Structure 1
Amino acid sequence: MTPAARCSAAIEVLSDISERRRPAADALKDWGLAHRFAGSGDRAGIASLVYDALRRRSSAAWIMGSDTPRAVLLGALRLQQGLAAASVAALFSGERFAPEPLSADERARLEIGSLQDAPPEVAGDAPGFILPDLAATLGDDLVPELKALARRAPLDIRVNALRGSRDAVMPALAAFSAAPTPYAPDGLRIPIGADGRGPALHVEGEFLDGWYEIQDEGSQLAALLAAPRAGETIVDLCAGGGGKTLALAAGTRNGARLIATDGDPRRLAPIHERLRRSDAAAEVRTPRTGKARTDVLEDLDGRVDRVVVDAPCTGSGTWRRNPDAKWRLRPGSLALRTAEQTQVLDRAARLVRPGGRIVYITCSLLSAENDAAVAGLMSRWRGRFDAVPAADMLAAGPAALREAVRTTLHGVQMSPHRTGTDGFYVATLARRD
């Protein structure tokens, strides 16, 4: 497919997403199934155009004076890819498989359109209803952080310390120009291409042999700040596919009793193969569903040293990777997530022993899911938990991180603008004796 034909396809997919209010991944998959002539490179190129348009949906519509899929793609080509009006006109030529030619108004807007007077929700490409919450956390960094969330995310991996050191793995990834991440001691960052794609690291021999996992540096740092210790009993309460579980196992050199579980047993499916591949030692407890559902952690109540809660959340800190998620966010979905966070934190509180700790993690920038959730637990449990000071938490991480993160009332907040990571929040609560 020509670049112009890819633009036409991207407009089709964006129309499908808009009309049917569906995730971008589903719309792209259906388009690929209906157009089997398109090769993997074409599908990837179309996906890149679609995701860039979603990243800049609001600002692109602003400069183009329209929010149609065509207008949003045009604006994104200008804002995200930096194409001049003449270059865009060459793609929108109306020739075979190309979109219709630019109108005089479209060309003028591409040439002179500006975000100078745009409100923050437009300049930052975010839903307006959550801006007050974000502003409470981000302050003067609100728009810079939102703009950073609209950029493409880097490709990070975590070297598995159970297999070897970061220095031992780097030569095998030299062809990908791997370089150490700024903060995470076991992290490597791989440059992505002009189309936003990184190499297929999951097919490399070192990955298949368990030498590394694909994991954002922020997620790696969250596991590091959890401060797992050998000899402890640790529960990963929302383990999902096991990314944090593997990091916790590596952090203790398999020296802890590590139990992984999740309220949704389907999310645990990948963890078994990942544990085998990495040589990580963890007990997986899969809950049953339906009438046979039981509490698989009941025997551990009041006995756990450290409960890690990688809580379900809106994922606002991962909008670089999932830009369509921000446009599907509604007040009702935020309320649902905060209710789930209350439930899982209360379960963690019953598990942890006197003197033990809960480590609460989200990939969110919203205070309603972060500090407010922590404050809610302390209020409900009436003085039985204290928030660990940020300085004490950060002592478990590299010194450079202490200067980069944003500290909040009860925790620490990583973010694309400050740390170059996804927007991870970490707080630690100590149970009184």
Structure 2
Amino acid sequence: MRYIWQHIEALLQYDGRLPLTHYLKNYFRQYPKLGSRDRKLLSAMVYSYYRCRKALVMPDANLEEVIRVALFLCNNPEKHTAAFLPSFPEAILSAPVEEKMQFLKERGIELNIPAIFPQQLPLSEGIKNEAWLLSMWHQPQLFIRIRKEKSAVVKKLTAENIAFSFVNDHCVALHNGTSVDKILPADWYVVQDASSQQTGSFFQPKKKENWYDCCSGAGGKSLLLKDLEPSVTITVSDVRDSILHNLRLRFNQYGYSAPKSYTLDVSDASQLKLQLGSQQFDNIIADVPCSGSGTWARTPEQLYFFDPEFVTEISKRQTTILHNIADKVKPGGKIFYITCSVFKAENENVVAAAIKDTSLEIESMQIINGLTNQADSMFIAVLKRIV
């Protein structure tokens, strides 16, 4: 299987500028002779490398040895990786990661966990640093939110021998990579991370309220809001017209009229005033651009190539967004400030800066720790306008 190692050496020339999933697709397109099994194996090797390479203290090891140990730490034994795992006892191959670490230590392979993220940015309350770093070694689960036909969803998944578990009444966890689109009708469910779904428990919409989703993306939070209370009116905006097009398609798919939408950057006060004028809303969802550090277990290349200057810049933008939208919510209304970051600089610190010179006060704020569910981690602050 020498050609596999040749491809790995080529693949690890990756520089982090393109999302790893796109980089791999582009690479495999150049080598159509690579079969499905080869692509899965190479992907597992590359992802495992970027998940834990910085922690592996193996100064005398060659690349093959490093990759084998990375696969051992990051993957439970699967058919496409089994032949490339180290020749360790079978029982340890599927053991918890802590046992694997101890097993390696007894064989002279040290692990320097803090080296995974040497920048050491302070984390929000509720996230332990080592637990967060070790979570990078495993791909999170796939989660769906059941919109309707719950019993039929269970029946179909069971009939297809799909392993699943309920996180709560409407949130289902499945193995990442499960092709739910081939099993369930599209309008029965939404693919949405468990922590993202949990943000909806803070919304508590009332009938016929007027809401604004100011950084809507493809509309996951807006759809969640609409499912919670179909009578609400939603206005959405995003800097990307293409993503708003996707949002409109999704609303139509789930039987809702497309919301009023604006292509604008809410960090630009002049754009906001030009587009929305003096409009005010009962409540605002501000799921702002962020580092995405709470989702890095899905995209470990972002951790590997992380530049801490990005957090400095993005936190300034987040603070500006909160300032700009503070008077777009009616007195007594709330802004739901949300990030998928675990860094205080983007969470508590932004909230503290924003409330200093606005009419907002903190009603509550917390990290939504997804580590125990193999989900993403998110932060939410509920900010109430008092004037």
Check whether TM > 0.5. yes
| Correspondence for 1:12 | 10
| Correspondence for 2:352 | 375
- The CA deviation at 1:21 is 5.3
| Correspondence for 2:32 | 36
Relative to structure 1, the CA distance from residue 158 to residue 300 in structure 2 (aligned partners, 3 Å threshold; closer, same or farther) is farther
Which deviates more from structure 2 when the two are superposed, residues 144-153 or residues 64-73? 64-73
| Correspondence for 1:387 | 362
- The CA deviation at 1:336 is 2.0
Structure in which a larger fraction of residues adopt strand: 2
Equivalent residue for 1:177, pick from 140, 158, 162: 162
Contact 2:238 2:264 in 1 (8 A): no
Report the Cα distance in structure 2 between the residues aligned to 1:313 and 1:170, rounded to whole angstroms. 35
Letter in 1 for 2:290: C
> Quick check: 1:273 aligned with 2:249?
yes
Contact 2:68 2:84 in 1 (8 A): no
RMSD between superposed Cα atoms in Å: 3.1
Report the Cα distance in structure 1 between the residues aligned to 2:121 and 2:13, rounded to whole angstroms. 31
> Quick check: 1:65 aligned with 2:52?
no
Equivalent residue for 2:46, pick from 39, 47, 50: 50
Tell which has more relative contact order, 1 or 2 (C-alpha 8 A, sep 6+).
Answer: 2
Contact 1:145 1:416 in 2 (8 A): no
Amino-acid identity (%): 24
Aligned counterparts, 1:296-311, within 5 A: 298-299=275-276, 301=278, 303-311=280-288
Q: Deviations over 1:67-122 (max 9, x none)?
A: 975454233023223679996468xxxxxxxxxxxxxxxxxx89814446x3x413
Relative to structure 1, the CA distance from residue 297 to residue 111 in structure 2 (aligned partners, 3 Å threshold; closer, same or farther) is farther
- The CA deviation at 1:35 is 0.3
Letter in 2 for 1:181: F
- The CA deviation at 1:418 is 4.2
> Quick check: 1:27 aligned with 2:23?
yes
> Quick check: 1:112 aligned with 2:139?
no
- The CA deviation at 1:152 is 1.5
- The CA deviation at 1:132 is 4.1
| Correspondence for 2:262 | 286
Aligned length: 365
Report the Cα distance in structure 1 between the residues aligned to 2:181 and 2:61, rounded to whole angstroms. 37
Report the Cα distance in structure 2 between the residues aligned to 1:67 and 1:300, rounded to whole angstroms. 62
| Correspondence for 2:101 | none
Relative to structure 1, the CA distance from residue 87 to residue 302 in structure 2 (aligned partners, 3 Å threshold; closer, same or farther) is closer
With normalisation by structure 2, the TM-score equals 0.83
SS of the counterpart of 1:157? Answer: strand
> Quick check: 1:153 aligned with 2:147?
no
- The CA deviation at 1:144 is 1.9
Letter in 2 for 1:429: L
Relative to structure 1, the CA distance from residue 249 to residue 281 in structure 2 (aligned partners, 3 Å threshold; closer, same or farther) is farther
Report the Cα distance in structure 2 between the residues aligned to 1:300 and 1:388, rounded to whole angstroms. 27
Contact 1:260 1:282 in 2 (8 A): no
- The CA deviation at 1:362 is 0.6
Aligned counterparts, 1:322-333, within 5 A: 322-333=299-310
Relative to structure 1, the CA distance from residue 133 to residue 258 in structure 2 (aligned partners, 3 Å threshold; closer, same or farther) is same
| Correspondence for 1:218 | 195
Q: Deviations over 1:13-51 (max 9, x none)?
A: 1x2214x75432232122111101223443233222211
Report the Cα distance in structure 2 between the residues aligned to 1:282 and 1:314, rounded to whole angstroms. 29
Report the Cα distance in structure 1 between the residues aligned to 2:257 and 2:181, rounded to whole angstroms. 22
SS of the counterpart of 2:122? Answer: helix
- The CA deviation at 1:176 is 4.8
Relative to structure 1, the CA distance from residue 412 to residue 167 in structure 2 (aligned partners, 3 Å threshold; closer, same or farther) is farther
- The CA deviation at 1:172 is 2.1
| Correspondence for 2:378 | 424
Letter in 1 for 2:167: P
Relative to structure 1, the CA distance from residue 227 to residue 55 in structure 2 (aligned partners, 3 Å threshold; closer, same or farther) is farther
Relative to structure 1, the CA distance from residue 250 to residue 178 in structure 2 (aligned partners, 3 Å threshold; closer, same or farther) is farther
SS of the counterpart of 1:128? Answer: coil
> Quick check: 1:76 aligned with 2:70?
yes
| Correspondence for 1:358 | 335
Equivalent residue for 2:207, pick from 230, 239, 242: 230
Identify unmatched segments of 5+ residues in structure 2.
88-103
Letter in 1 for 2:320: Q
Equivalent residue for 1:128, pick from 118, 125, 133: 118
Relative to structure 1, the CA distance from residue 151 to residue 416 in structure 2 (aligned partners, 3 Å threshold; closer, same or farther) is farther
Report the Cα distance in structure 1 between the residues aligned to 2:261 and 2:384, rounded to whole angstroms. 25
Q: Deviations over 1:301-322 (max 9, x none)?
A: 4520110011100000001111
Report the Cα distance in structure 2 between the residues aligned to 1:181 and 1:132, rounded to whole angstroms. 33
Report the Cα distance in structure 1 between the residues aligned to 2:21 and 2:349, rounded to whole angstroms. 32
Equivalent residue for 1:167, pick from 151, 158, 163: 151
Contact 1:287 1:294 in 2 (8 A): no
Identify unmatched segments of 5+ residues in structure 1.
91-108, 390-410
Q: Deviations over 1:144-192 (max 9, x none)?
A: 22212332210111112xxx24334221222253544324x321111x2
Aligned counterparts, 1:202-213, within 5 A: 202-207=181-186, 210-213=187-190
Which deviates more from structure 2 when the two are superposed, residues 270-279 or residues 422-431? 270-279
Q: Deviations over 1:371-397 (max 9, x none)?
A: 11111110131xx111113xxxxxxxx
